[in-house]
């Protein structure tokens, strides 16, 4: 595939980043390039400022063959770029081809008008042919450098027949008028200093200069050698227009603009020759000059071709030649390039395979950390592994044996915990705490890294299986003895178990059973335990369901926190909802067991220090602060079956609360009275 793939010329600059500049536009080479363009102008100035060195050299054959040679080069370049335009359906390439064809046509007319070839003497046509051709070409040059949108590009392509036909007609008419003796003034002898186009030559110079600058801006976005060649050619053509304005026929300054024209077109031809030799093909030679939309389309074609090749290589390694041949024909590749593409495609397929498998390993590692149930983890992991590795199979140990199809494996069947070969696959042991827990069968042989990747997959699956079982054990243990939020915090970061705390605004909920002591005196201990379990079995899900964290069970009492350790935006209302729901559940219990005591609940909101309190040997998660003490006091004054809340809690809940004021209360341990309310409902 040609190395002039437009993907290599994509804009690599982002926000705040300078685009990459190839060697032709790096600082030192840019200076050399500028000097090359400045030297001809310096030579022109020296010749015009020193007439004694601006000597006349009149040699018609040399002039004729120079012109014919350069015109021929232009015709070839114009035809090649025209073919590229047709192949890519690109308006810019069409306009560039017209630059070369128009200058070639009029250059050829200028050569035919050389004295003593067709006409015996010089003529207006001889003097004007090349300036006219360069002026027409300058218009095409400017148009080719414009950032044509889709509508303008389509209009140019629709009218390409008129553009080419019109140019051909102008050349034919010009040839007849300037080469038939005596037909028009164009075939007559001009003044001694020759004829010119006046201001049109200056306009042409400006158009070439603007076109060169605009092409350089394109080059900054997507650097390419052919763009540099075109920029240099347009700059030299602008200098040729300037040199030709002096019309000192057959003097060295007159020959100078012929040489500038020659250098301009030979520079492009030489650049194309070098690039085609390096790539071994002319396909894609002028793609870098094309419009941005065409470059994107070409890039998409290459991407689709590579995807097609990679997909074909992955499906069948024995039938690659037809695909390589088809791609070679599509992109104009040589046999050697098709072979390189074939090897590159195979390498890309292997790399894609490796990337997919590494991606699968990353996903499996992530899933091993989320605490999924074992069966769900294995199903999801196996599905993902099969997408990347093929027909992967897994089986767990039962009675010390792993049954996988007709084969059975025991711990001693895996030497040094290594794999066992099974046809075109390897079977790796899965271990948990160093003991055989299962086996994993992975296909191998498609890529050189298969064995290593299979071992890595087996290791990852062993880790996932062990984590799932360990997580289940810890979760079961923790959740039975502490709030889920505290358990999650400890599992995620064991450092949260360290002694200490932080100041947090929270809502504390205290609840106990009024009459519990007298009830305990009347009944047997087993009935006390049954009663407490019934109440707590009803209360705990309600508190947890509203985002609360239960931090204490003390006999018949419990303390729950809201907004700690897990944060809640509406923690006061959440605590209120939980308290009302607890009373409703307690009423249902009392209705079936009339002698049972009833809940009384106190709620208060304020700042408190939350964290682990205790000693290095034994600690517990709790909250300390005045707001917690007040909640306990409000619970103590509450009547059975009611919920008493503090002023701060009511303020946070707002008008949603239906509450009856109890006035200012003097609470034990409080110097100032506390205003409290009986909460009856929450809207």
The domain locations on the chain are 58-285, 296-356, 369-468, 494-682
pLDDT confidence band for 490 (50 / 70 / 90)? low
> What is the architecture, at CATH level 2, of domain 494-682?
2-Layer Sandwich (3.30)
Q: What is the mean pLDDT of residues 131-159?
A: 85
Q: What is the mean pLDDT of residues 127-154?
A: 83
Distance (Å, rounded) from C-alpha 257 to C-alpha 41? 10
Tell me the CATH number for domain 369-468: 3.30.450.40
Spatial contact of 443 and 392, defined as CB atoms under 8 Å apart: yes
Distance (Å, rounded) from C-alpha 139 to C-alpha 208? 8
Distance (Å, rounded) from C-alpha 647 to C-alpha 624? 19
Distance (Å, rounded) from C-alpha 444 to C-alpha 441? 10
Distance (Å, rounded) from C-alpha 301 to C-alpha 608? 65
Average pLDDT, the chain: 75
Q: Which residues pair with 681 in a beta bridge?
A: 658
Q: What is the mean pLDDT of residues 245-256?
A: 57
Residue 554 predicted with pLDDT over 60: yes
First vs last C-alpha separation in the chain: 72
DSSP element (H, E) containing 675: strand 674-682
pLDDT given for residue 49 in this prediction: 59
Judged by phi (left if over 0) then psi (alpha if -120 to 50, else beta), residue 676 lies in: beta
Residue 549 predicted with pLDDT over 50: yes
On the CB side of 573, CA atoms within 13 Å amount to 12
Q: Which range (32-46, 164-178, 232-246, 645-659) has the least confidence?
A: 32-46
pLDDT given for residue 606 in this prediction: 95
Using a CB cutoff of 8 Å and minimum separation of 24, what contacts does 301-306 make?
302/1, 302/5, 302/6, 302/7, 302/331, 303/7, 305/1, 305/330, 305/331, 306/345, 306/348
3-state secondary structure of 207: helix
pLDDT given for residue 244 in this prediction: 60
Note the pLDDT tens digit of each residue in 512-532: 998 888 888 888 888 889 999
Note the pLDDT tens digit of each residue in 278-336: 655 556 667 777 777 777 777 776 676 666 666 665 554 444 445 555 555 555 555 55
Q: What is the mean pLDDT of residues 121-142?
A: 78
Tell how strand 598-614 and strand 643-646 pair up.
parallel
Residue 538 predicted with pLDDT over 50: yes
Question: Of 584, 565, 575, which Cα lies nearest the Cα of 642?
Answer: 584
Residue with tokens 């915090």: 489
Question: Of 396, 403, 406, which Cα lies nearest the Cα of 431?
Answer: 396
Helices (H) and strands (E) in the chain, counts: 20, 14
Q: Indicate the Cα dihedral angle 593, 594, 596, 597, nearest 10°.
A: 140
pLDDT given for residue 20 in this prediction: 44
Q: Which range (5-19, 122-136, 423-437, 585-599) has the least confidence?
A: 5-19
Residue with the bigger pLDDT between 106 and 20: it is 106
CA dist 439 → 220, 382, 540 (Å): 57, 12, 42
Distance (Å, rounded) from C-alpha 22 to C-alpha 40? 25
Residue 581 predicted with pLDDT over 80: yes
Residue with the bigger pLDDT between 476 and 406: it is 406
pLDDT confidence band for 107 (50 / 70 / 90)? confident
Residue 495 predicted with pLDDT over 60: no
Q: 10 Å Cβ neighbour count for 88?
A: 22
Q: What is the mean pLDDT of residues 44-49?
A: 56
Residue 430 predicted with pLDDT over 90: no
DSSP element (H, E) containing 233: helix 225-244
Buried/exposed 359-383: b ≥16 CB within 10 Å, e otherwise: ebbebbeebbeebbeeeebbeebee
pLDDT given for residue 653 in this prediction: 95
416: exposed, middle or buried (Cβ count in 10 Å: 0-12, 13-18, 19+): exposed
Residue with the bigger pLDDT between 186 and 631: it is 631
With a CB cutoff of 8 Å and minimum separation 6, the contacts of 584 are: none
Residue with tokens 């809690």: 649
CA-only gyration radius of the chain, Å: 45
On the CB side of 262, CA atoms within 13 Å amount to 14
Q: For the residues of 358-380, what is the DSSP string, one character each?
A: HHHHHHHHHHTTTT--HHHHHHH
Spatial contact of 236 and 37, defined as CB atoms under 8 Å apart: yes
Q: Which range (38-42, 142-146, 369-373, 414-418) has the least confidence?
A: 38-42
Structure tokens at 210: 């603007």
Q: Which range (73-82, 236-245, 249-258, 573-582) has the least confidence?
A: 249-258
Residue 254 predicted with pLDDT over 70: no
With a CB cutoff of 8 Å and minimum separation 6, the contacts of 210 are: 142, 145
pTM of the full structure: 0.45
Q: Which range (39-48, 102-111, 235-244, 257-266) has the least confidence?
A: 39-48
**Fold designation for 58-285:** Rhopdopsin 7-helix transmembrane proteins (1.20.1070)
CA dist 591 → 511, 588, 611, 677, 679 (Å): 19, 5, 39, 26, 22
Q: What is the mean pLDDT of residues 35-62?
A: 62
Angle at 101 between CA 179 and CA 83, to 5 degrees: 145
Note the pLDDT tens digit of each residue in 20-41: 444 444 554 555 556 556 556 5
Distance (Å, rounded) from C-alpha 228 to C-alpha 234? 10
Buried/exposed 335-354: b ≥16 CB within 10 Å, e otherwise: eebbeebbeebbebbbebbb
Residue 507 predicted with pLDDT over 60: yes
On the CB side of 449, CA atoms within 13 Å amount to 15
């Amino acid at each position: 595939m040609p190395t002039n793939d437009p993907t290599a010329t994509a804009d690599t600059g982002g926000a705040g980043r300078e685009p990459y500049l190839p060697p032709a536009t790096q600082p030192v080479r840019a200076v050399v390039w500028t000097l090359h363009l400045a030297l001809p102008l310096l030579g022109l100035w020296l010749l015009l400022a020193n007439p004694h060195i601006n000597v006349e050299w009149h040699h018609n054959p040399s002039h004729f063959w120079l012109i014919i040679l350069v015109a021929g080069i232009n015709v070839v370049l114009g035809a090649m770029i025209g073919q590229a335009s047709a192949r890519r359906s690109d308006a810019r390439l069409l306009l560039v081809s017209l630059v070369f064809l128009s200058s070639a046509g009029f250059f050829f007319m200028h050569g035919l008008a050389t004295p003593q070839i067709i006409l015996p003497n010089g003529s207006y046509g001889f003097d004007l042919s090349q300036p006219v051709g360069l002026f027409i070409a300058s218009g095409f040059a400017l148009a080719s450098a414009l950032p044509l949108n889709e509508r303008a590009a389509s209009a140019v392509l629709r009218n390409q027949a008129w553009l080419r036909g019109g140019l051909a007609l102008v050349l034919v008419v010009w040839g007849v008028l300037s080469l038939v003796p005596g037909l028009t003034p164009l075939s007559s002898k001009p003044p001694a200093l020759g004829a010119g186009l006046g201001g049109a030559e200056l306009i042409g110079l400006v158009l070439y200069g603007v076109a060169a600058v605009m092409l350089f801006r394109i080059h900054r976005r997507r650097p390419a050698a052919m763009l540099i060649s075109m920029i240099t050619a347009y700059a030299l053509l602008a200098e040729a227009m300037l040199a030709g304005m002096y019309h000192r026929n057959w003097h060295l300054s007159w020959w100078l603009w012929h040489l500038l024209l020659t250098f301009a077109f030979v520079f492009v031809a030489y650049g194309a020759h070098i690039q085609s030799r390096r790539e071994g093909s002319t396909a894609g030679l002028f793609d870098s000059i094309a419009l941005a939309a065409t470059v994107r389309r070409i890039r998409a074609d290459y991407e689709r071709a590579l995807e097609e090749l990679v997909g074909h290589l992955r499906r069948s390694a024995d039938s690659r030649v037809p695909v390589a041949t088809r791609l070679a024909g599509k992109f104009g590749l040589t046999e050697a390039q098709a072979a390189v593409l074939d090897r590159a495609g195979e390498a890309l397929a292997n790399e894609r395979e490796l990337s997919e498998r590494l991606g699968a390993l990353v996903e499996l590692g992530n899933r091993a950390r989320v605490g999924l149930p074992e069966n769900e983890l294995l199903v999801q992991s196996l599905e993902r592994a099969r997408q990347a590795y093929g027909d992967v199979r897994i089986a767990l140990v039962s009675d010390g044996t792993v049954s996988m199809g007709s084969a059975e494996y025991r711990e001693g069947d895996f030497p040094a915990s290594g794999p066992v070969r099974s046809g075109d696959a390897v079977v790796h042991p899965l271990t948990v705490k160093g003991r055989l827990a299962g086996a994993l069968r992975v296909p191998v042989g498609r890529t050189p890294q298969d064995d290593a990747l299979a071992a890595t997959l087996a290791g990852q699956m062993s880790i996932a299986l062990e984590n799932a079982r360990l997580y289940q054990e810890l979760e079961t243990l923790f959740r039975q003895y502490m709030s889920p939020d505290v358990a999650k915090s400890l599992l995620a970061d064991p450092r949260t178990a360290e002694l200490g705390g932080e100041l947090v605004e929270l809502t504390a909920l205290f609840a106990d059973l009024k009459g519990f002591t007298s009830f305990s005196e009347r009944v047997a201990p087993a009935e006390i335990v049954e009663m407490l379990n019934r109440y707590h079995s009803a209360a705990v899900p309600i508190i947890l369901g509203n985002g609360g964290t239960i931090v204490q069970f003390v006999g018949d009492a419990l303390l729950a926190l809201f907004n700690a350790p897990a944060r809640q935006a509406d923690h006061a209302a959440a605590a209120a909802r939980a308290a009302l729901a607890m009373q409703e559940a307690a009423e249902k219990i009392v209705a079936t067991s009339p002698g049972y005591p009833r809940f009384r609940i106190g709620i208060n909101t304020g700042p408190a220090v939350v964290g682990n309190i205790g000693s290095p040997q034994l600690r517990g998660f709790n909250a300390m602060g005045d707001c917690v003490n007040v909640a306990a006091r409000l619970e103590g004054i509450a009547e059975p079956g009611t919920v008493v809340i503090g002023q701060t809690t009511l303020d946070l809940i707002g008008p949603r609360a239906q509450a009856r004021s109890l006035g200012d209360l003097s609470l034990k341990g409080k110097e100032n009275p506390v205003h409290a309310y009986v909460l009856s409902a929450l809207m």
